[in-house]
Amino acid sequence: MPPTRFAGLPRYCAIAILVGMALAIFVLALVAMAQPDPTPSSDGSDIDMYAAVVEHMRHGEDFYGALRAGLSAGHYGMKSVFNWRTPFFMSLVALFPTLLGMQLVVIMAAIAGTFLACWLAWREAGRAAAGTMLLLELISLVACLVPRGYLFSEMPAGMVILVSASAYGLGWRRIGLANGLLALFIRELAAPYVLVCAFLAWRDRRYRELALWAVGLLAYGAYFLWHIHMVGLHQSPADHGDPTGWMDFGGAVFVLNAAAFNGLMLAAPLWGTAILLPIAFIGLMAWPGPAGERVALTVFFYLALFAVAGKTYNSYWGALFTPIMMTGLIWFPAGVRDLWQMARSSRPRTVPV
């Protein structure tokens, strides 16, 4: 593995990061072990509701009418516009005669994202890193094989974000931009990734790319304003909402549960995610070059956002960032290697540009 971003750190910084990583693992593990075992709900699920909405749309019903009926039957809060999904993704699903058709599309997106991530790992860190990346993304993206699981639109949005971030890392900016906007239209919670991409385009003075992001964001803004209007037409004064809103300040508990919504990690104890999350983030910090910077900023943005926003039952939001979070793991061994060397010696190594 080549030198990482940690190779040029002063000794005190390297020691601080090593100690911080150990403390983060210890604290998160304590938080994880303090959580009760999850109990299944008997009130149905979001997946059942969205499957019913799609079925109504196939029979010619309007999306908003079908969604209102589903939300009402499930006693969901309808006062907030953010409880109403935008119609883009469900309309795509309804185009297929069965749910299996869209699942095949999602599987192909997962394969494309995995292929590009492995190609990027091969180019930047070698063949062994590419093989490791394949295993890591299979662990994360195996969730796309679960029947109807993709109806959590966060899952396909997260796969498209992986495609976008990997394409950017390979230098295919237009493909990265197009997939970033696609993820946003699939789920508005892809906005943190989009904002990171627009910020990097502005910072690096790629003004043509920035202009394309601006056009895409304006188009999405118009689309979301129309969505707000349509939701208003289907709301009633009797609709209720959560009195605390979306800012639940779940902190480490919600962040851990969101990070655990990660393919096979769902079947592992939560303390496994408590170990995985800090080492993945250290790996992202260690990853040299613009590709690592893009992914690290995105994951940090999501972790900070989900520490304050999201209800306890929204842990599936984690599917937005866990596929790209896993890419940091291949850089963790090299990052710790450089941190250890810097902690033992004050003489810096050359950091790749």
Domain boundaries, the chain: 97-219+240-344
pTM, entire model? 0.93
* Confidence category of residue 243, pLDDT binned at 50, 70, 90: low
Give the range among 196-205, 325-334, 337-346 with minimum mean pLDDT: 337-346
Segment 157-185 shows an average pLDDT of 98
Residue closest to 326 by CA, chosen among 174, 137, 71, 128: 137
DSSP structure class, residue 350? P
* Spatial distance between the Cα atoms of 30 and 262, rounded to a whole number of angstroms: 20
pLDDT at 119 over 80: yes
78-87, 117-126, 157-166, 317-326: lowest mean pLDDT where? 78-87
Q: Are 159 and 89 in contact (CB under 8 A)?
A: no
Confidence at 42, pLDDT banded by 50, 70, 90: very low
What is the rounded average pLDDT for all residues in the chain?
A: 92
> In the structure encoding, which two tokens stand for residue 113, read together?
């994202």
Percentage of the residues of the chain whose pLDDT score is greater than 90? 83
